[in-house]
Chain A
Amino acid sequence: MGEGTRSPLPKGGVKGRERNKHMNDVSIIGIGQTEVKEMWSTSIRHLAWYAIEAALDDAHVSQVDALFVGNMAAGQLSNQMHLGALVADFAGLRGIEAVTVEAADASGGAALRQAVLAVKSGLVETALVVGVEKMTDQVGSSVTAVLSSTLDADYEAIHGLTVAGMGALLMRRYMHEYGIGVEEFAHFSVNAHANGADNPLAMFRNRIKAERFGSAPPVATPVNLFDAAPSGDGAAAVIVTSHERAQDMVSQPIRIAGSALATDTLALHDRKNMLHLRAAELSAQKAMAAAGVSHDDIDLFELHDSFTVMAALSLEAAGFAAAGEGWQLARDGAIGRNGRIPISTFGGLKARGNPGGATGMYQIVEVARQLRGQAGDNQIPDAKIGMAQNLGGSGATAVTHILSNR
């Protein structure tokens, strides 16, 4: 960006210059995903394989050099750790470098971040990233307890706090500080479900009405069933390589223009201002600076709407709204597919579903589909640049990626 006319044109004219400018970037050459739902007959290794098979087919490649598996809790949910080796073996990729990356429900985004680092370093030519979570090997309070282990075990979870409770503490405080009611959050869920209704892979395809939002059964007051994203099984995968190679391999490489991961205190109570998602802000700023884009350049934003308040706080942290005003974007229709900053374009966590460590990879696959113009009924017209932000829990980990179709 900003090279202007001072730079002499390299060989190949304008096209050559474009090519050279992004030569060291990393690009997506293949994407794959499964439905998000309760898949009682499907194991975690099969889930991962289905997404990987789709991504390999999409990229027309059969071999990669490294595998990064984003997973949150297979050790507890399925008594299965060591997913790097398991998935590499099961996918017929025995011998390659393969590890698991864990950062609660930011595991998927964090795994992609590791792949970007690996390819950008030059040590890995082609990397496969799969986010996978098998939520339904356990049910009910056992799953809730596993999810709670992503909080501070000694000072949060021991007091019975849950992930939904964490969202609720934020939401109550947000309502108190900004003087708004529960009903003001409804528009996030209405939007997510409207988009999910058009996504055949979404966990929930029903539309919901704003006026019914407040009457849903409580999960952790004021968070209710229409507010909290549902847990489901799912896997999503991408294949990345250098932008230079990608241009020769596929017709529509999706370039990762910005990639950044930041952290905040694990426990909510340790934050000076918990309504300011500092890690989300940091990672968004770093990714946008790397990509050389401003807010006006971003055509869609796949954010981490695990709870409606998290959607509001993410919009604020990423700079799309001032503190305390994120909810107004939902009220004013700015987050819709024809709005100023479309979010959750395939349903988001709320309607597509939240398959834990796979969620961040669904966001990436969905943004890539938008930028390829392959989003079907969910297409954002003429989308060129998309942002995905994957949060771990209350945003203790935040991973932001900015994708571009040029």
Chain B
Amino acid sequence: MEVSRHWRLQEQRYKLVGETCDSCGVKLFPPRDVCLECKAPAYALYTFTGLGELYSFTTIYDAPAGFEHSAPYTVALVKLEEGPIVTAQLTDMDESELSIGMPLEMVTRKLRTDGDEGMIVYGYKFRPIFSQQVAN
């Protein structure tokens, strides 16, 4: 189910490939072809570094179908260092240690499954910077 829908987003899900506006130079994620800022065409691909900071977060207890087994899980808004904000789950962290503004990095994780025999969807999540966690 929905294989093509996820397959066509593999560049975004695995590598955070967005776009740069040809006209004003702003970086766009998700890619949207028409610049969010100046409405000019934006087709030049740009791969984001995957570094950013925590903008807002919520721990979800009332989970939708397909996510029940993950609940409670934390979804965040992450402000990428290039500017855009991305919605993603947080992983490898303790909710009590979260604070708005803390640095985060992208990792690849399982997003959801469709039952025991269904497709497994992988994609980006974010976590506190690993090298800093090791240093601590």
Q: How large is the interface on B (under 10, 10 to 19, 20 to 34, 35 or more residues)?
A: 35 or more
Residues of A within 8 Å of B70, CB to CB, are 160
Other-chain residue from B32, B55, B60 in contact with A220 (beta carbon distance below 8 A): B60
Contact of A169 with B60 in the complex, beta carbons under 8 Å: no
Name the interface residues of B65-109: CB closer than 8 Å to any CB of A. Answer: 65-68, 70, 72-73, 75-77, 84-89, 100
Contact of B64 with A172 in the complex, beta carbons under 8 Å: no
**B89: nearest residue on chain A (CB-CB)?**
A159
CA distance A328 to B103 in the complex (A): 32
B116 lies within 8 A of chain A by Cβ: no
Residues of B within 8 Å of A158, CB to CB, are 6, 111-112, 121, 123
CA distance A265 to B111 in the complex (A): 24
- Shortest CB-to-CB span from A279 to chain B, Å, is 15
B62 lies within 8 A of chain A by Cβ: yes
Which of A119-127, A137-145, A284-292 touches B?
A: A137-145
Contact of A169 with B65 in the complex, beta carbons under 8 Å: no
CA distance A213 to B73 in the complex (A): 23
Residues of B within 8 Å of A223, CB to CB, are 58
Contact of B89 with A269 in the complex, beta carbons under 8 Å: no
Question: Given A160-B70, A268-B77, does the pair A141, B65 have CB atoms closer than 8 Å?
Answer: yes
Question: Given A158-B121, A160-B112, does the pair A169, B64 have CB atoms closer than 8 Å?
Answer: no
A63 lies within 8 A of chain B by Cβ: no
Residues of B within 8 Å of A221, CB to CB, are 58-59, 61
Contact of A169 with B58 in the complex, beta carbons under 8 Å: yes
Interface SS, A side: helix
B51 lies within 8 A of chain A by Cβ: no
Contact of A165 with B75 in the complex, beta carbons under 8 Å: yes
Contact of B61 with A220 in the complex, beta carbons under 8 Å: yes
Contact of B56 with A169 in the complex, beta carbons under 8 Å: yes
- Shortest CB-to-CB span from B81 to chain A, Å, is 15
Q: How large is the interface on A (under 10, 10 to 19, 20 to 34, 35 or more residues)?
A: 35 or more
Other-chain residue from A145, A267, A269 in contact with B65 (beta carbon distance below 8 A): A145
Residues of B within 8 Å of A265, CB to CB, are 36
Which of A148-156, A366-374, A382-390 touches B?
A: A148-156
Name the interface residues of A131-188: CB closer than 8 Å to any CB of B. Answer: 141-142, 144-145, 147-148, 152, 154-162, 164-165, 168-170, 172-173, 176
Residues of A within 8 Å of B5, CB to CB, are 154
Other-chain residue from A141, A219, A269 in contact with B87 (beta carbon distance below 8 A): A269
Contact of B56 with A155 in the complex, beta carbons under 8 Å: no
Contact of B87 with A144 in the complex, beta carbons under 8 Å: no
Other-chain residue from B64, B76, B85 in contact with A157 (beta carbon distance below 8 A): B64
**A148: nearest residue on chain B (CB-CB)?**
B64
CA distance A159 to B112 in the complex (A): 8
Residues of B within 8 Å of A142, CB to CB, are 65
B57 lies within 8 A of chain A by Cβ: yes
Contact of B100 with A160 in the complex, beta carbons under 8 Å: no
Other-chain residue from A144, A159, A172, A173 in contact with B111 (beta carbon distance below 8 A): A159
B9 lies within 8 A of chain A by Cβ: yes
B25 lies within 8 A of chain A by Cβ: no
Contact of B58 with A268 in the complex, beta carbons under 8 Å: no
**B6: nearest residue on chain A (CB-CB)?**
A158
Residues of B within 8 Å of A333, CB to CB, are none
**A170: nearest residue on chain B (CB-CB)?**
B56
B44 lies within 8 A of chain A by Cβ: no
A324 lies within 8 A of chain B by Cβ: no
A319 lies within 8 A of chain B by Cβ: no
Contact of B77 with A144 in the complex, beta carbons under 8 Å: no
Q: Which residues does A use to contact B, with CB under 8 Å?
A: 141-142, 144-145, 147-148, 152, 154-162, 164-165, 168-170, 172-173, 176, 217-223, 265, 267-270
> Would you list 16 pairs from A and B whose C-beta atoms are within 8 A, ordered by A residue?
A145-B65, A147-B64, A154-B5, A155-B86, A158-B112, A159-B89, A160-B70, A160-B75, A164-B62, A169-B57, A169-B58, A169-B77, A170-B56, A220-B60, A220-B62, A269-B86
Q: Closest 8 interchain pairs by CB?
A: A168-B58, A145-B64, A145-B65, A269-B85, A144-B64, A173-B56, A141-B65, A160-B67
